[in-house]
Amino acid sequence: MLPQTSPVTAHTFNYAPVAVGVVIAFCGIWWLASARKWFLNPAHPRNSTLDRKEVGGRAGVR
């Protein structure tokens, strides 16, 4: 990850950390904006009242 030449230019810069940062930022923003509202912990009280038959009709199947 260290630059192979000095000085670092746009041609010699390693863009892999930038690409990983963009993916992590996108995932974080998406989670904050949308997913945290519908992706809940299975032990959450709102999920504990559902019966397996109501969810998919597969009672006893994990």
| pLDDT number for residue 55 | 53
Rounded to an integer, the average pLDDT of 17-43 is 85
Tokens in use for 41?
Answer: 């912990």
Backbone angles phi, psi at 48, to 5 degrees: -75, -15
Q: Is the pLDDT of residue 51 over 70?
A: no
- The answer for residues whose C-beta is within 8 angstroms of residue 59's C-beta and 6 or more apart is 51, 52, 53
pLDDT-derived band at 25, boundaries 50, 70, 90: very high
For residue 11, the 8-state DSSP code is T
- Higher pLDDT pick, 52 / 12: 12
